[in-house]
Amino acid sequence: MTGKSAVPRTILLLAPLLLFLGLAYVVPFLGVIRWSVTLPEPGLGQYRAVLTDPLVQSVFIRTLRICLIVTAAALVMAYAIAYVWVRGTPTQRMLAEFCILVPFWISVLTRAFGWLALLSNRGLINTWLQAAGIISEPLALARNEFGVIVGMTHFLIPFAVFPIASAMRSIDERVLLAARGMGASRSRIFWSVFVPLTYGGLIGAALIVFVFALGFFVTPAILGGGRSVMVAELVYLRIFQSPDWGLGAAISVVLVIFIGILLALMRRFIKPAHLVG
Amino acid sequence: MPQGIQLGDAKAAEIKAVSIGKTFGAFRALKDLSLDIGRGEFLTLLGPSGSGKTTFLMILAGFTAPSEGRLMMDGKDITDVPAEDRSYGMVFQGYALFPHLNVEQNIAFPLKVRGRSSADIKRRVGEMIERVGLVGHEKKLPTKLSGGQQQRVALARALAFEPSVLLLDEPFSALDKNLREMMQEEVKRLHQETGTTFVFVTHDQSEALALSSRVAIFNHGELLQVGRPQDVYERPANRFVAEFLGEINLLPLGALRLDGDKAAGQFEDRTIVLSQTGPQIGPNAVAAVRPEHMTIAATQQNPDHNAIACRIEDATYLGAVTKYHLKTRTGTSIAVSMPTAATTGFAHRSDVWVSWPTEQGFLLPQQG
């Protein structure tokens, strides 16, 4: 490809996607922005409400809390899986790949209901524990924040595995050998050489998981059972189950701005190539 | 560290490899290798790629376990001692610096691992930085350094904890010629200053000859010869060693006669007299003479020297030396290197005599 034709061809190749995003996302979102400043009356009243309404506040705080816990949990587990995937024996690698990809292909809805079947009061876990006589009353595993965190973490782990594994793969084996040759123990090599060399992947993974988690709807709706409402569900409730379109729209706009800031940060810190493995 | 074994503390160690073998699947990377590495010596493992020299270095380092044989250090069996407990200094091909640590932190790493006090680490790191000429670069990350500077950090890091053995795996392969020569000098100096045992891997014969106190030549997983540079260069054990260490003229000899420490044979219509070498010379032997040991003259000069009639095919001016390509009457190619100052500019296609003193040539078997 010559330098001159490179730019137009790139635009040509991207055109269908850009057109689709423009028509299906940007234009409708402009409408949402308009609602946020016109409903029920023109002005910034809805944004004031976002900042002051105790209900909206509590949903935002809960969302942030859940997202932080989910991000931390997903990173730890994804790190372990990525480690086995990249550095395990061929059998371990295959097993890890299976564990990463199979859930990845199953729809988010199916997975949320799957967790419900496991975690609910009459789900597998509670039934077994009761049958075994370990507990007399069912544990509250679903229809609360715990269930939401479990379901979201499970869904998001693969997204964290890819950037972390990519960072692990790019570590020069000789650097680890060098550390060994200098007398460093395995745990020392891991903590003071291996882990620091994957920081880029960890930051990327954390941002991806966090951004995804912020907008989660299906999983919290099913596993939270309406008692652990997150921002996306709140928007849904405002727009579809109340006449309060203006507030729903304002919350959406705030969420999009917040995610935009996070994505800008992500662009600054990591190369896109690192995110896809 | 296993009890009772004190490693990495002696100033310089001696290593004894006894019948070391290594197989990877069906491939025999090393065959029955026995080699003594002396205290404080600079031993170079030389050979083409795939000859087993790096495999042997990895076995010395403890990164690879030998399939057969034992490895002894200062009289103790260290075959099963893992790399982290051997604690030899090592300079890797491509340096293997810690990319997330700056120059100072890289050099401090092995000292921290050893639990030295921070004052001790600071003093030692400063000393090493000065010794390898990196003052002013202490806070730079490896990516901000040139190849030669990275090389210096790798050397400083490997020597910081005063290892009893320093292993170097083709450390100069990525450097350009001038830098390589500078670093060779530096490594030589560090060897003299530290007195540590150095084991150096390279495929570059001139580097091997320039640096080492002894050279071990490998091919196809076998150790072919070990000796001082001048020994292996001037008295190679076989044709592979002779040809690998530098250009050499090979003249097939007929009617070979051995007489005490001399040998004589027929090449074309001339009788060639040679110092004898090699234990098992068969009836078919070649006379081997290095190009720089031959001289060209218009007439036959010293009657005691060997001389053959040749025609000049080509001359290449290389600055200090001029290299001539000649052909004998029967068409055997001969190369002669002469100091440019000593040549009077022979005309192309002119008939000349190529001669050399009898003690400069030696016999090699026709095969192998």
Q: Which two tokens stand for residue B20?
A: 């070391």
B324 phi, psi to nearest 5 deg: -110, 140
pLDDT value for A1: 44
DSSP per-residue letters across B23-62? EETTEEEEEEEEEEE-TT-EEEEE--TTSSHHHHHHHHHT
Q: Which two tokens stand for residue A160?
A: 């964290």
Say which of A172, A180, A192 has its CB closest to residue B83.
A180
Task: Convert the pLDDT of each residue in B303-353 to its tens digit.
Answer: 889 999 999 998 888 888 999 999 999 889 999 999 988 777 777 888 899
Q: Which of B81, B59, B83, B93 is nearest to A175 (CA)?
A: B93
pLDDT value for A277: 47
Domain-by-domain residue ranges, chain A?
1-38, 53-275
Task: Convert the pLDDT of each residue in A154-173 to its tens digit.
Answer: 999 999 999 999 999 999 99
CA pair distance B351, B334, nearest whole angstrom: 13
CA pair distance B209, B232, nearest whole angstrom: 9
Average pLDDT taken over every residue of chain A: 89
Task: Convert the pLDDT of each residue in B174-210 to its tens digit.
Answer: 788 888 888 899 899 999 988 999 999 999 999 999 9
ipTM: 0.78
Task: Convert the pLDDT of each residue in A4-22 to its tens digit.
Answer: 556 788 888 889 999 999 9
3-class DSSP assignment, residue B153 = helix
Buried b (16+ CB within 10 A) or exposed e, B254-263: eebeeeeeeb
Alpha-carbon B340 to chain mean position: 27
Looking at beta carbons, which residues of chain B come within 8 Å of A194?
none
Q: Do A181 and B83 touch (CB under 8 A)?
A: yes
The residue type found at B239 is R
Question: How would residue B152 be classed by pLDDT, with cut points 50, 70 and 90?
Answer: very high
Judged against a pLDDT cut of 70, whether residue B301 lies above it is answered with: yes
Q: Do A182 and B161 touch (CB under 8 A)?
A: yes
Q: Do B96 and A182 touch (CB under 8 A)?
A: no
Looking at beta carbons, which residues of chain A come within 8 Å of B143?
none
CA pair distance A148, B259, nearest whole angstrom: 96
pLDDT value for B160: 92
CATH number of A53-275: 1.10.3720.10
Are A168 and A87 in contact by the 8 Å Cβ rule? The answer is yes
Strands B270-275 and B262-267: antiparallel
Average pLDDT taken over every residue of chain B: 88
pLDDT value for A33: 93
Q: Which two tokens stand for residue A12?
A: 């040509």
Looking at beta carbons, which residues of chain B come within 8 Å of A192?
109
CA pair distance B207, B199, nearest whole angstrom: 13
CA pair distance A247, A239, nearest whole angstrom: 8
Are B161 and B196 in contact by the 8 Å Cβ rule? The answer is no
Say which of B88, B94, B97 has its CB closest to residue A181.
B88
Start-to-end C-alpha separation, chain A: 25
Task: Convert the pLDDT of each residue in A187-235 to its tens digit.
Answer: 999 999 999 999 989 998 999 999 999 988 888 888 888 778 899 989 9
DSSP category for residue B212? -
Task: Convert the pLDDT of each residue in A44-72 to its tens digit.
Answer: 888 998 889 898 999 999 999 999 999 99
Task: Convert the pLDDT of each residue in B221-242 to its tens digit.
Answer: 999 999 999 999 988 888 899 9
- The strand ranges marked E within chain B are 15-24, 27-37, 42-46, 68-73, 76-77, 89-91, 165-169, 197-202, 214-219, 222-227, 249-259, 262-267, 270-275, 285-289, 295-297, 306-317, 321-328, 333-339, 351-356, 362-365
Residues B260-281 have a mean pLDDT of 77
CA pair distance B107, B126, nearest whole angstrom: 9
Question: How would residue B1 be classed by pLDDT, with cut points 50, 70 and 90?
Answer: very low
Residues A63, A69, A75, A78, Cα dihedral to 10°: -90
Q: Which of residues A18 and A265 earns the better pLDDT score?
A: A18
Which residues of B have a CB under 8 Å from any CB of A?
8, 61-63, 83-90, 92-94, 96-100, 109-110, 113-114, 157, 161
Task: Convert the pLDDT of each residue in A95-149 to its tens digit.
Answer: 999 988 888 888 888 988 999 999 988 889 999 999 998 888 888 888 889 999 9
Looking at beta carbons, which residues of chain B come within 8 Å of A181?
61-63, 83-84, 86-90
* Start-end of H helices in A53-132: 54-87, 90-105, 108-119, 124-131
Q: Which two tokens stand for residue B130?
A: 């000065």
Looking at beta carbons, which residues of chain A come within 8 Å of B113?
182-185, 188
Question: How would residue B9 be classed by pLDDT, with cut points 50, 70 and 90?
Answer: very low
Q: Is A183 on the interface with B (CB under 8 A)?
A: yes
Q: Which two tokens stand for residue A30?
A: 């402009």
pLDDT value for B7: 39
A vs B: CB pairs below 8 A: 66
Residues B128-140 have a mean pLDDT of 93
Looking at beta carbons, which residues of chain A come within 8 Å of B97?
175, 178
Q: Peptide bond before A40: cis, by omega within 30 degrees of 0?
A: yes
Q: Is B177 exposed, middle or buried (0-12, 13-18, 19+ CB in 10 A)?
A: exposed
* Start-end of H helices in B87-238: 103-113, 118-131, 147-159, 177-194, 205-211, 229-234
Judged against a pLDDT cut of 60, whether residue A3 lies above it is answered with: no
To test the contact with chain A by mutation, choose from B6, B54, B90 the residue with the greatest count of A C-beta atoms within 10 A, namely B90
Q: Do A178 and B99 touch (CB under 8 A)?
A: no
Looking at beta carbons, which residues of chain B come within 8 Å of A172?
94, 96, 99
Percentage above 70 pLDDT, chain B:
95
